Structure formats: structure tokens, C-alpha cells
């Protein structure tokens, strides 16, 4: 009988291009991102979880979120191969709240 929990976190900063989706002026958008993941193994059971997000830092309000959870059972356990099967759930949310061109061209008063 064994149990093992593995967890991790990651933060990032970089750029993404949304020009193909939202227009030519969104070629190099700076954003911060993060990722949290966990895996738990107990005998023949394997549970996983992941949450990942990114948020733009400029005038646009672009956000991406992804959540995954899964529960699996070990069907085959050989010396060099383990085969799991199970069920999972995925949640994906994208928000592209881009200001109109006239607002982006005029500075705030």
C-alpha cells in the first residue's frame, strides 16, 4: 500500500499575439500567467488536477482560464508499462473584451 502526492506551481510573464483573432493591433500583448497542478496516487487510483490562467496587462481585457480534473484506475501494471483509464472534466473560459478602436486611439481625460 502506497500513497503519493505531487504538486507544483508556476508563474510566468511573456507576450502573445491575438492579431489573427481580434485585429492587427494586437500582435504583441504582454501578459502574466500561472499554473497549479497536483497528482495523487493511492494504490490503483490516480487523481489529477490542473488550473492554468493568463491575463493581459495592456488596455485590452483578455483572460484565459483552463481547469482539469481526472480520476483514473490502473488497468494494467507491468514492469515497463502502466495503463490507466478513467473519467475527467475540463473547464475552458476565454474572455476577449477589446475596446473599440476610437477608445484605444484617444487617451483618457
91-103 residue pLDDT tens:
999 887 765 555 5
Task: List pLDDT tens digits, range 44-91.
Answer: 999 999 999 999 887 777 888 999 999 999 999 999 999 999 999 999
- Looking at per-residue pLDDT, the higher value among 107 and 21 belongs to 21
Of 16, 5, 9, give the one whose Cα is nearest residue 35. Answer: 9
Rounded Cα distance, 97 and 14, in Å: 20
What's the confidence (pLDDT) of residue 17? 78
- Looking at per-residue pLDDT, the higher value among 104 and 67 belongs to 67
What's the confidence (pLDDT) of residue 106? 54
Res. 18 pLDDT band, cuts 50 70 90 = confident
Rounded Cα distance, 66 and 45, in Å: 23
What's the confidence (pLDDT) of residue 104? 54
Rounded Cα distance, 36 and 55, in Å: 15
Amino acid at each position: 500500500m502506497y500513497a503519493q502526492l505531487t504538486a507544483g506551481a508556476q508563474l510566468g510573464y511573456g507576450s502573445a499575439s491575438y492579431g489573427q483573432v481580434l485585429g492587427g493591433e494586437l500582435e504583441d500583448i504582454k501578459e502574466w500567467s500561472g499554473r497549479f497542478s497536483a497528482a495523487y496516487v493511492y494504490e490503483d487510483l490516480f487523481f489529477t488536477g490542473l488550473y492554468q490562467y493568463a491575463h493581459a496587462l495592456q488596455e485590452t481585457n483578455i483572460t484565459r482560464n483552463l481547469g482539469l480534473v481526472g480520476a483514473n484506475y490502473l488497468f494494467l501494471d507491468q514492469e515497463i508499462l502502466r495503463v490507466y483509464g478513467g473519467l475527467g472534466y475540463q473547464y475552458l473560459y476565454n474572455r476577449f473584451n477589446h475596446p473599440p478602436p476610437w477608445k484605444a486611439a484617444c487617451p483618457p481625460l
